[in-house]
Amino acid sequence: MKSVAKPLNRGSWLRTAIVSGVVIGGCTWLMPAHAQTDVELREALDDTNLVWKVGNTFGPPWQFQTNMTHDGIDAAQAGPLQAGIVAELANIMTSVTGPGTLIFWWKLENAECFHLTFWIGSTLIAGRDLGGILSTNWDRQVFRIPLGPQALQWTFETSCGDGSPPGNAWLDEVSFVPDSLQTNSLAVLTLNAESLTLDLRAAPGARLQIQYSTNLISWDSFALPEPIQLPDGRATVTLRRPTLSIGFYRSVWVP
Ligand SMILES: [Ca+2]
């Protein structure tokens, strides 16, 4: 099949050649603009399982770029937006099926005249006065995603009036790992007649319950007020040791 010697839609020729699946066996495949946008954003945001859509009002949409990144390779950028008589806004959206853990990095150029927010469905999760993006540095966020299909959305929008400066926002290294694919480990650090201390490891943001057994068949949970949180993927906990002739311990995910 002949190669097509012209750029595809918005991407450059070089950029198109890099996108996996676009150049196959010397053949170049033309793609609709929305499909190319998804491929570019999937590469920029690094989770190959996610499908991306964008929307915008009075400003450029989120798009692939390589000038400002967290991973040193590529990232998605919104903007520049600039408030005039009307506000400007750009959304980037994907969907996942929870429960699982979502991690991403985001960055805001101007924290005074812009909002960068993260939503699960219609619920505002981070940004604005909820914290998490108050500085203009790259900022890592970790969230537990609840059970079932969930629409995820990042929104970049102007918040100052006419005459405010232009500004950009960036998103990089988005990762969603369902609980079914996650592993967690438990090691006993110390053990005495009254207590045991455990080293727990799992994906960042995990919530774990600790269980014990005498036969590896039936398991009981430690009576804890809340699941053990692992915001950084690791925790050390000391628990009152149950009265057992032989004890086995395990950690299990909590949605
Ligand atoms: Ca990237």
* Domain 50-177 CATH assignment equals 2.60.120.200: yes
Give pLDDT, residue 133: 56
pLDDT band at 7 (very low <50, low <70, confident <90, very high): very low
Distance between CA atoms of residues 81 and 87, nearest Å: 9
Measured in Å, residue 76 CA sits from the centre of ligand 1 at 8
Give pLDDT, residue 28: 43
Measured in Å, residue 63 CA sits from the centre of ligand 1 at 12
Give pLDDT, residue 17: 32
pLDDT in tens, 209-233: 999 988 888 999 998 889 998 888 8
Measured in Å, residue 111 CA sits from the centre of ligand 1 at 22
Measured in Å, residue 70 CA sits from the centre of ligand 1 at 7
Q: How many alpha carbons fall within 13 Å on the CB side of residue 210?
A: 29
Residues of the chain with CATH 2.60.40: 182-253
Measured in Å, residue 81 CA sits from the centre of ligand 1 at 22
pLDDT at 130 over 50: yes
Give pLDDT, residue 35: 67
Task: Give Cα 116 distance to the centre of its chain.
Answer: 14
Measured in Å, residue 88 CA sits from the centre of ligand 1 at 25
Measured in Å, residue 44 CA sits from the centre of ligand 1 at 4
pLDDT band at 182 (very low <50, low <70, confident <90, very high): confident
Average pLDDT over the chain reads 82
DSSP secondary structure of 114-147 = EEEEEEETTEEEESGGG-S--SSS-EEEEEEEEE
Give pLDDT, residue 3: 36
Cβ atoms within 10 A of the Cβ of 244, count? 12
DSSP 192: -
pLDDT in tens, 56-85: 888 899 999 999 999 999 999 999 999 888
Q: Which among 57-61, 131-135, 244-248 has the top mean pLDDT? A: 57-61
pLDDT at 154 over 80: yes
**Higher per-residue confidence, 149 vs 205:** 149
Q: Above pLDDT 90, what percent of the chain? A: 46
48-52, 128-132, 159-163, 203-207: segment of lowest average pLDDT: 128-132
pLDDT band at 107 (very low <50, low <70, confident <90, very high): very high
Measured in Å, residue 71 CA sits from the centre of ligand 1 at 5
**Higher per-residue confidence, 28 vs 13:** 28
Measured in Å, residue 29 CA sits from the centre of ligand 1 at 24
What would the CATH number be for the domain defined by 182-253? 2.60.40
Residues of the chain with CATH 2.60.120.200: 50-177
**Mean predicted confidence (pLDDT) in 140-168:** 92
17-21, 115-119, 171-175: segment of lowest average pLDDT: 17-21
**Mean predicted confidence (pLDDT) in 132-152:** 85
Measured in Å, residue 59 CA sits from the centre of ligand 1 at 23
Q: Are 36 and 48 in contact (CB under 8 A)?
A: no
Distance between CA atoms of residues 177 and 175, nearest Å: 7
Measured in Å, residue 240 CA sits from the centre of ligand 1 at 44
